[in-house]
């Protein structure tokens, strides 16, 4: 398939063939999704045989619209956001062919959920300072350590994991990237209850977990480079979606404003208009970022988008509470639940206000993202790093 019109004609024919062979009205959802993957209509920009056709990513929208119009099921991307948004692009860029063929299909269909074992209680926002160790033992690596703030760990079959394999070199140089089997008996998952009452995150303890070397992603000691690529994808996934106008918190607060004219003041009106304009600028910037992604890999712009998303969510949720007054402070339910998906705008105003506080921590703290924007987007001098040439084992902790 060559030009855009020809490509769309070819894609339409593929979609019609898929629907003819697997009628969505009578085909079980997993079977339909597996057939869609085999037809190259899962990720059209992925290579043939890996769920794609090697086409521009922008063609995916065309395919999705055709299938949605036909009533075909989708893969509910919110249930496996880490797998789809972070593990899949990383495996495509750095994984072996064997890894890609083993993991990508059940990842895309959602039959295997993924989580991300990056953050640690002793490393804070500095991923390169992590202390989880992986020691070579024959054809395996033996991993010991603790991870924290792990979304979906209680549902995950697999995890992307960064561990320290050489403590005798500077901290960025001694890391290696793995795929970890979450069903291993050495993996213990404990819920972390948040101030919203939910426990959507977890602590994960790794005790003598054996990971085959065949599940190493990238070269030994190259984990920082692989993890950086994952994090760029993560920030795009959180902050750079192609959302419609007045979606997210901007839409929630605008609706509150319209439904409660008795609460309006000139000052609140001025703040709402200012934040609405900022939200619209962020939305259009996110759309431009998605278009750039269609022709290349994510860059540091994703960090700016995630930074903007977190700041706006907190300011808008705070404004909503001010609009609602005492009614906004009422909380609906403190029952501990373990949601399958993250609801940034779900439930009541009190929930939204509390949940938005986490936006500036998850997916890279705002402080770290400001450094990335300053250095890689604005070209400002880098922050002094006194530990750059010191072996990790010699760093004070």
Give the active site residues: 234
Which tokens in the block code for residue 34? 């597996």
Q: Could you give the count of Cα atoms lying within 13 Å of 160 in the half-sphere of its Cβ?
A: 33
Report the candidate in 144, 91, 136 with the shortest Cα–Cα distance to residue 114: 91
- Assign residue 152 a region: left if phi > 0, alpha if psi is -120 to 50, beta otherwise? left
In angstroms, the Cα distances linking 96 to 90, 100, 102, 321 are: 11, 6, 10, 50
- Burial pattern 12-42, b for ≥16 Cβ within 10 A else e, equals eebbeebbeebeeeebeeeebbbbbbebbbb
How far apart are the C-alpha atoms of 394 and 390, rounded to whole Å? 7
d(CA 104, CA 46): 10
Query: 160: which strand partners?
Result: 116, 179
Residue whose structure tokens are 């924290």: 148
């Amino acid at each position: 398939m060559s030009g855009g019109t020809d490509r769309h004609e070819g894609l339409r024919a593929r979609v019609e063939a898929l629907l003819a062979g697997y009628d969505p009205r009578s085909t079980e959802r997993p079977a339909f999704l597996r057939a869609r993957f085999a037809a190259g209509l899962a990720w059209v920009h992925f290579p043939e045989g890996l769920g794609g056709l090697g086409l521009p990513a922008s063609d995916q929208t065309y395919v999705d619209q055709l299938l949605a119009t036909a009533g075909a099921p989708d893969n509910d991307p919110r249930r496996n956001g880490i797998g789809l948004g972070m593990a899949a692009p990383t495996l495509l860029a750095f994984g072996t062919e064997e890894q890609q063929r083993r993991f990508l299909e059940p990842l895309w269909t959602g039959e295997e959920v993924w989580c991300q074992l990056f953050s640690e209680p002793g490393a804070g926002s500095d991923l390169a300072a992590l202390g989880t160790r992986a020691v070579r033992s024959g054809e395996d690596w033996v991993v010991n350590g603790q991870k924290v703030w792990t979304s979906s760990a209680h549902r995950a079959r697999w995890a992307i994991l960064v561990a320290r394999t050489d403590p005798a070199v500077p901290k960025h140089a001694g890391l290696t990237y793995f795929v970890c089997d979450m069903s291993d008996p050495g993996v213990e998952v404990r819920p972390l209850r948040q101030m919203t009452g939910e426990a959507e995150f977890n602590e994960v303890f790794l005790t003598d977990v054996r990971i085959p070397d065949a599940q190493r992603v990238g070269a030994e000691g190259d984990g920082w480079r692989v993890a950086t690529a994952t994090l760029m994808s993560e920030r795009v996934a959180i902050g750079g979606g192609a959302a419609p106008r007045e979606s997210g918190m901007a839409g929630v607060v605008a609706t509150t404003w319209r439904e409660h004219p008795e609460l309006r003041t000139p000052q609140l009106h001025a703040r709402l208009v200012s934040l609405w304009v900022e939200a619209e600028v962020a939305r259009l910037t996110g759309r431009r970022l998605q278009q750039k992604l269609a022709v290349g890999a994510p860059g540091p712009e994703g960090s700016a988008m995630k930074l903007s998303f977190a700041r706006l969510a907190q300011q808008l949720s705070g404004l909503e509470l001010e609009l609602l007054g005492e009614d906004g402070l009422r909380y609906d339910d403190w029952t501990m639940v373990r949601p399958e998906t993250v609801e940034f705008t779900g439930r009541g105003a009190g929930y939204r206000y509390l949940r938005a506080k986490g936006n500036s921590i998850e997916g890279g703290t705002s402080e770290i993202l400001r450094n990335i924007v300053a250095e890689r987007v604005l070209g400002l001098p880098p922050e002094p790093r006194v530990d750059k040439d010191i072996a990790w084992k010699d760093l004070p902790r």
